[in-house]
Structure 1
């Protein structure tokens, strides 16, 4: 027995030292290639925890490193090799010009196998599978589809305004970010989950979604996946097993969406179809009806892969889950930050109010009027330039050996873009790059377009971008037709931004003033 214990102990010690020396050798990957970059004392996780630190978002960490090491440097994220670039020309190469070499996203280490997973959403999919899903989904965000969703967005915004009326009547400062979270979850629950009617401040999905973004309960598995990336899909399967044994927010949300999709399919099988001109339309109907036939999209010009026309039930569930999360936090955060900026810049706010009054002349705001709000559009874009909400979406994986600038990249190496540095580059944006100046987007230069990535870039740019802008502009138009945002003593002098994935203001405190 003692001999057996000693043998097992010896094997474990040998494995530990073998892994340690292999990890130490792997840590020198960039140094051996003459690429500068920070060195971590943690030979196993390296900068994994730093990059996923909710108290200091990775966009700020990358900016700090860029100042020290220059526009091109290498870092280690667990076992994974990551090249960081802060050069807009190189970013354009990765996202657009050499898309065929970088078509895969930089996903979290704790992710399913994109080739084998039965149900997969378009964000995680790669290669021909991504092409097929995006081909099917793209028409769901066409102008006609957005017009079908417009009434849902408009109705939720009216409810939001009625709730803000109570804040005004109480004559108090309040955290408007909370209202925007309720609005965006209300809209996306109605659009993505088939929710009937509004549930603002009575929607359990708000807290569920927040828990998902905070990585609650999965940090240790995530760390293991970073240390042993080749076993990432195995650790993901472990996560699925744990989810069945205990409370897990992702599983709860997926179960709810699955039930909604199956119920909708049953209704349609009985001849009950909510998808007509007089009904509010949601993603479930659009995804069930969608086909991948005769779709023209630049994202697929480089491939002739034949695709299946319809999505499976599992795929519909995954797409709804993706857009529920993507449409919740990012949209609410952008609205909150825009509100804070407008409260701090009353001159710009007054110009925006004048524009809204000139275009939206009655209480019934139309889709066409929303699209005419040029300054409102510029305010949204400037807010996202100053505070890029989701910089992680720009990460890519090299799928074929290629040269990027002076660096030869091997297959499997990841690339991250330092978006914050590019968004504040005075050579690109002018000497007032640090200032809130929405009008800069009236004359959007080629260089600025190549350096601006709030929704990602290239063929994998966020497919829901126009829906996000529509919702944000409608919310601001509804509020500013009735109120002004006023900075008060409780208003934050500087926003406190946290979040390991999405840049999230802790609070945005304002008062409303009747116009």
Structure 2
């Protein structure tokens, strides 16, 4: 699909009739910044969390390595040079569950998801009036034992994603028609990176791992530092 945009240098150059089909220069700059942050910072933070989990859960890492070997062969020098097959990466079920569980425990971009009520309704006995804004706290939802049991939501357990959950129980990419536009791209990025990493290395703990793992909120929710060793 080819999309042609007319870009105005100044918002004063835009008349009311053309607003629906024109991007101003400031809008282009703002959206470019958002794309860069959404496309790189979030994925790198998610991968940092992945390495933290791999270091702390060697049994999970072993299962991932077994699945990678199943699809991409042994660790010979010739095999390392093979290109990863897109379809094969997407068929890796345990890898998918692993990433989903990392993002359940450590959501990246937001702490809440806001929606405006368009019609008066009632949810679990609570009356919500038309026009009111409802916000869901992502951490409360992701750690709710009623939504994510019977295994303890505070424990890392990828297999919990084998079970079908409430469609609004999982919110790392938002939800509905305004969810993250880069969802699929981010997932395939992480799958390819982790596959390449674990084909050649084993992630192990080091003395600084927990000491420096302090989650802080700036542009995204990310650890201050992740210290690991690669064998």
Q: Do they superpose with TM above 0.5?
A: yes
Post-superposition shift, 1:380?
A: 0.8
1:490 aligns with 2:202: no
The 3 A distance-change label for structure 1 pair 311 and 365 is: farther
Classify the secondary structure of the residue corresponding to 1:463.
coil
1:433 to 137, 141, 153: 153
1:343 aligns with 2:55: yes
Mapping of residues 337-416 of structure 1, within 5 Å: 337-361=49-73, 362=79, 363-392=82-111, 394-398=113-117, 400=118, 402-405=120-123, 406-411=126-131, 413-416=132-135
Classify the secondary structure of the residue corresponding to 1:355.
helix
Q: Distance in 2 between matches of 1:351 and 1:311?
A: 50
Tell whether the 8 Å contact from 2:115 to 2:133 is kept in structure 1 after alignment: yes
Post-superposition shift, 1:313?
A: 7.0
Mapping of residues 226-241 of structure 1, within 5 Å: none
Classify the secondary structure of the residue corresponding to 2:107.
coil
1:421 to 130, 140, 153: 140
Tell whether the 8 Å contact from 2:112 to 2:135 is kept in structure 1 after alignment: no
Mapping of residues 282-301 of structure 1, within 5 Å: 289-290=2-3
Mapping of residues 134-213 of structure 1, within 5 Å: none
Post-superposition shift, 1:356?
A: 1.1
The 3 A distance-change label for structure 1 pair 474 and 501 is: same
Post-superposition shift, 1:481?
A: 0.8
2:45 to 327, 330, 333: 333
1:94 corresponding residue in structure 2: none
Q: Distance in 2 between matches of 1:329 and 1:352?
A: 24
Which protein is bigger by CA-based radius of gyration?
A: 1
1:462 corresponding residue in structure 2: 180
TM-score (norm. length: structure 2): 0.79
Tell whether the 8 Å contact from 2:122 to 2:128 is kept in structure 1 after alignment: yes
TM-score (norm. length: structure 1): 0.37
Q: RMSD across aligned C-alpha pairs, in angstroms?
A: 2.6
Q: Which has the higher helix share?
A: 1
